[in-house]
């Protein structure tokens, strides 16, 4: 596994989060019991939990509540649809009181603006803190050849920057990006633009299907606001020990 070198040209904005609190563990399982066990084991040693399509589709909003309890939640449903539908889905998602929600930047400006408005209105109506609304740029499982295959103009980094600028112009708080793009994104979008970063692989873990990866320490050093980490923790024989090892590397 190769690791890109990274030197931040613009520092990350102030999130008030310690390095360990920046770790969100991906609960990629259909099983409520397994998700609940991971939360019970890891609570306190990481910043929060990410629930994606797998657990949400299998267990629904009540299952998410049961698994995650009051822990900080990144609801990763990556909405991508017409503006009216995405706005409605986000208003519904807000009932789970997520700290972070996401949509695909490639949904376009009208969809992104509708998403911003829906999250703002729902936060006011529900009298809860507004979550970070972030946009997925180019999935970390894709490389230049994959972009070409779907007719998107590469290289990957240019497409990520194009979509990040669009998201920022439409009022979103930040993007999901691969660790390889942290430095150029900080330079292009500034210190306060939130960078939520999957594709994190400690030197001792396998890349799997992730193509654009970096170690947790290097990603934090480069300026990531949140690290999304799944299999290096959840696939470990002892997930709590793996989380502690990563925290040690960040300290
Ligand atoms: O939005 C995401 O969280 C996401 C975006 C992306 O470009 N790549 C990506 O891997 N993810 C998510 O991040 C998590 C990464 O998990 P691991 O590869 O197991 O660490 C998965 O839950 C993915 O759905």
Q: Give the pLDDT of residue 17.
A: 84
Q: Give the pLDDT of residue 19.
A: 80
Q: CB neighbours of 49 closer than 8 A, spacing ≥ 6? A: 24, 25, 26, 27, 38, 39, 42, 67, 68, 71, 72, 73, 74
What is the domain-level CATH number for residue 210? Answer: 3.20.20.70
Domain assignment of residue 194, yes or no:
yes
**In a structure prediction context, what are the per-residue pLDDT tens digits for the chain, which is 251 residues long?**
223 333 333 555 667 788 889 999 999 999 999 999 999 999 999 999 999 999 999 999 999 999 999 999 999 999 999 999 999 999 999 999 999 999 999 999 999 999 999 999 999 999 999 999 999 999 988 899 999 999 999 899 999 999 999 999 999 999 999 999 999 999 999 999 999 999 999 999 888 887 888 999 999 999 999 999 999 999 999 999 999 999 999 88
Domain assignment of residue 4, yes or no:
no
Q: Rounded to the nearest whole angstrom, what is the distance from the C-alpha of residue 207 to the centroid of ligand 1?
A: 12
Residue 79 is assigned to a ligand binding site: yes
Q: Number of structural domains, the chain?
A: 1
Closest Cα to atom 17 of ligand 1: 230
Report ipTM for this prediction. Answer: 0.96
Structural domain for 112, as ranges: 20-250
Between CA 238 and CA 49 the distance in angstroms is: 17
Domain assignment of residue 163, yes or no:
yes
Residues taking part in catalysis: 76, 78, 81
Domain assignment of residue 5, yes or no:
no
Closest ligand 1 atom to the C-alpha of 200? 20
Residue 210 is assigned to a ligand binding site: yes
Indicate the pTM of the whole model. Answer: 0.92
Domain assignment of residue 2, yes or no:
no
CA 222-223-228 angle, to 5 degrees, is 100
Closest Cα to atom 22 of ligand 1: 26
- Note whether 102 and 133 are within 8 A (CB): yes
* Six-digit token string for 209: 């299907």
- Note whether 66 and 39 are within 8 A (CB): no
Between CA 145 and CA 93 the distance in angstroms is: 34
Q: Give the pLDDT of residue 51.
A: 98
Q: Give the pLDDT of residue 212.
A: 81
Q: How far is CA 226 from the centre of its chain?
A: 7
């Amino acid at each position: 596994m190769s690791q890109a070198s990274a030197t931040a040209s613009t520092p990350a904005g102030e999130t008030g989060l310690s390095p360990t609190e920046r770790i969100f563990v991906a609960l990629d399982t259909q099983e409520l019991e397994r998700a609940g066990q991971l939360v019970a084991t890891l609570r306190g040693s990481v910043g929060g939990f990410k629930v994606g399509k797998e657990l949400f589709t299998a267990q629904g909003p009540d299952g998410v509540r049961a698994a995650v309890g009051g822990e900080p939640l990144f609801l990763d449903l990556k909405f991508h649809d017409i503006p009216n539908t995405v706005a409605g889905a986000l208003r519904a998602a807000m009932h789970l009181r997520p700290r972070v929600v996401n949509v695909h930047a490639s949904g376009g400006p009208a969809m992104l603006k509708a998403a911003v408005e829906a999250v703002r209105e729902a936060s006011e109506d529900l009298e809860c803190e507004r979550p970070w609304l972030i946009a997925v740029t180019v999935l970390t499982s894709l490389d230049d050849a994959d972009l070409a295959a779907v007719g998107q103009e590469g290289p990957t980094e240019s497409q990520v920057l194009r979509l990040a600028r669009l998201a920022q112009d439409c009022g979103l708080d930040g993007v999901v990006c691969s660790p390889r793009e942290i430095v150029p994104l900080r330079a292009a979008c500034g210190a306060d633009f939130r960078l939520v970063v999957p594709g994190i692989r400690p030197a001792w873990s396998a890349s799997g299907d992730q193509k654009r990866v970096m170690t947790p320490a290097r990603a934090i050093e480069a300026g990531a606001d949140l690290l999304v980490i799944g299999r290096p923790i959840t696939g470990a024989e002892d997930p709590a020990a793996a989380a502690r090892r990563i925290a040690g590397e960040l300290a």
